Structures are given as C-alpha cells and as structure tokens.
Structure 1
C-alpha cells in the first residue's frame, strides 16, 4: 500500500467509519430497525439516516474548505449538529 499516503488523520478517518458501521450492525441485530417518517416525508431507517449524515457532512466540509480559511474544526462542529438534526427529525 505504498501508493497511498497513509497518514494518522487518514487512518483515523477510516477506522472511525469502520467502527461506525460495526456499531450500526450490532444495533440493527440487537434492536431491530423500524422505519420512521420524518420531515423529508420518506420512510428512513438508521442506516439511511447514517448515509444522509455522512453525505451531508462531506458537503459541509467541502463547502467549508471552499468558503473559509479557518481550520476544519468548525466544520466538524457544524457536521455534528447536522448529524443530531438528521438522526432526530429525518
């Protein structure tokens, strides 16, 4: 894997994503999912909301990089608030 620049932030990112998927799988087995209809007016499961959160967070970070020279910690906070909103009301 010498072709990829594995840095600690990159490795941490992939470890967190893998851990999140494992935790979501365990939750789905232990507590079966039921669809929920939120503000989007479509039925979503925990996995759907996780996907919406990850996709939205990626766009938040890209927009932050485009619009600001400030460190990405602010985008992380905005993404955390976005994730809370998605899991609560979507």
Structure 2
C-alpha cells in the first residue's frame, strides 16, 4: 500500500517533528492564548498561522530538494544524491525563522 512512498529515517523524523510541533502548539495555545502580531510577513499572524506557513515552507523545501537532488549531484559532481538530512535541517531552520520573526 505504501510502496510508492519514500519512508526513510529522515522522512519519519520529519513527520515526527511535525506531530510534536502540533501537539506542543496545542498545549501552548491552551496555556497561553495567542494574539495577532505583525512581523516581516505581509499580514498579522498568530502562532498557529506562522506554524502553518512554516510547515508549508518546510514541505516545499523538502519536495524541491528531492526533485532537484539528481541535478545537485550533477552540478556539484557528487558520487550520489546528496543526503536528505540537508533539506531537513534547512526546512527546520526556515520554520524556526518564520515562527520567531514572521
């Protein structure tokens, strides 16, 4: 049923982080309700809004990396495709930036 999916350790850790973030945000929201705030995003957002935007950004970064990993191997003359851990770290850093500054 899931043969078409690339269920590797980095993918499992990525989705595990998403689940932990959603659970953490739920608890945080119950303990301390959020208010609208304006950062560098072009709209006022709540923590939940920034999490959603950051998760979308993280998903797009990972999809782009998977789609371009063959090209990266050609461009940088690598023996094989680059590690998916690179996109995981980049996407989590971008998510943290959006949550903090967005």
Return the TM-score normalized by structure 1: 0.79
- State the partner residue of 2:89: 77
Greater strand proportion: 1
Runs of 5+ unmatched residues, structure 2: 70-80
Q: Deviations over 1:18-66 (max 9, x none)?
A: 3322211110011110111111230111111111111111110111111
- Aligned CA RMSD, in angstroms, stands at 2.3
Whether 1:28 aligns to 2:29 is yes
Q: Is the 8 A contact 2:40 2:101 kept in 1?
A: yes
Structure 1: 5+ residue runs without aligned partners? none
Aligned residues: 88
TM-score, normalization by structure 2: 0.71
Question: What secondary structure does 1:61 align onto?
Answer: helix
| Cα offset, 1:83, TM superposition | 1.1
SS of match in other structure, 1:33: coil
Tell me by how many angstroms 1:81 deviates: 1.4
Runs of 4+ in 1 over 2 A off after TM superposition: 7-20
Distance 1:85 1:11 in 2: 22
